[in-house]
Amino acid sequence: MILRTEGVEKRFGGLVAVKDVSISVNEGEIFGIIGPNGAGKTTFLNCISGYYSPEKGRVFFWDRDVTGYPSYKMCGLGMSRTFQIVRGFPKMTAFDNVKVGATFGSGKYHNVNDRVKELLDFVEFPLSPDITAENFNTIQLKRLELARALATGCKLLLLDEVAAGLTPGELPDFIALIKRIRDSGVTIICIEHVMKFILGCCDRIAVLVFGAKIADGTPEEIQNNPQVVEAYLGETNVH
C-alpha cells in the first residue's frame, strides 16, 4: 500500500470540511475521489500533500507516518501534485517550468536537461520548449503541469480536476496520457467531476459528501450504489 489515511479531519472555523476520512491506495492504482462541489475533495488532497495539517487522523505514505509534514518534505519523499486551477510560471519557458520540478523533487538525474526534454515528449507537449507559459492554452498548461509534477521523480501523483476544462475531443488522448503515467510506475489519486474520465481511468473510487466518505469501490460498484446515485451521480452529467 502506497498511501493510507485514517480518520482524517480538517476544519475551517465551525465548518468540518473533511470528516473522518480513511482511504487506502495500492501501488499502481488510479484512485478517484468524487463528490459534489464543496464536498471537501480538495481539502482532503491538501491534507495528504502537506498543504494542510489535519486536526485529527493520520496520513501514512509507504507505511511512514507523514501526518503534518510540510509539502516540500512530502515532495522529497516522492509525492507530487497538480492544481485545480492550473498554475504555470507564466514568464518562464515550458522547459524551465518543468526544470523547476526536477530541481526541487526527489528525482536524481544524471542529466536534468535531457530528463526535461524526455518529459515534455512524454506528455506530448505540442509547442517549442522555448515559449513562455503565458502563451499556452488550458490543455497545453495541463500537459506542462503534469510534466513538471513528474519531473520531481514522484511515485505518487495527486491530480485535482485535471480533466476539467478539456473539450470532449481532447479527453481520450488525455485519458491515455494519465494511463501512460500510471504504467510508467506512478500511482495516481485524482479528484474528478468528468465521469467519462473517472469511469475510463479509475481502478477504485471514493465518494465524499459533506466532508465524509459515503462509499468506495470499483467504478461499477460506485455507479450502482443507490446512496451515491442519490447524493451525487443523479445530478451529474455521466455522458
* List of residues contacting ligand ATP (CB under 6 A): 12, 15, 17, 35, 37-43, 84
- Smaller CB distance to Mg ion: residue 17 or 119? 17
Q: Please count the residues of the chain.
A: 239
Q: Are 139 and 172 in contact (CB under 8 A)?
A: no
- The 10 Å Cβ neighbour count of residue 45 is 22
Binding of residue 42 to Mg ion (CB under 5 A): yes
82 binds Mg ion (CB under 5 A): no
Residue closer to Mg ion, measured from CB, 71 or 84: 84
Provide the minimum distance between the beta carbon of 75 and ligand ATP in the complex, in angstroms, as a whole number. Answer: 21
CB of 208 vs ligand ATP, minimal distance in Å: 6
b/e string for 106-135 if b means 16 or more Cβ within 10 A?
ebeeeeeeebbeebbebbebeeebeeebee
Q: Which residue has the cell 510540510?
A: 70
186: Cα within 13 Å, side-chain hemisphere: 28
Q: How far is the CB of 41 from Mg ion (least distance, A)?
A: 5
- Listed ranges 10-18, 19-27, 42-50, 216-224: which one lies at the site for Mg ion (CB under 5 A): 42-50
**Nearest to Mg ion of 120, 206 (CB atom):** 206
The residues, ordered by sequence, that sit 6+ positions from 125 with a Cβ below 8 Å of its Cβ are 94, 140, 143, 144, 147
For the bound state, the minimum distance from the C-beta of residue 13 to Mg ion, rounded and expressed in Å, comes to 19
Q: Which stretch binds Mg ion (CB under 5 A): 8-16, 78-86, 124-132, 134-142?
A: 78-86
Where along the sequence are the contacts to Mg ion (CB under 5 A)? 42, 84
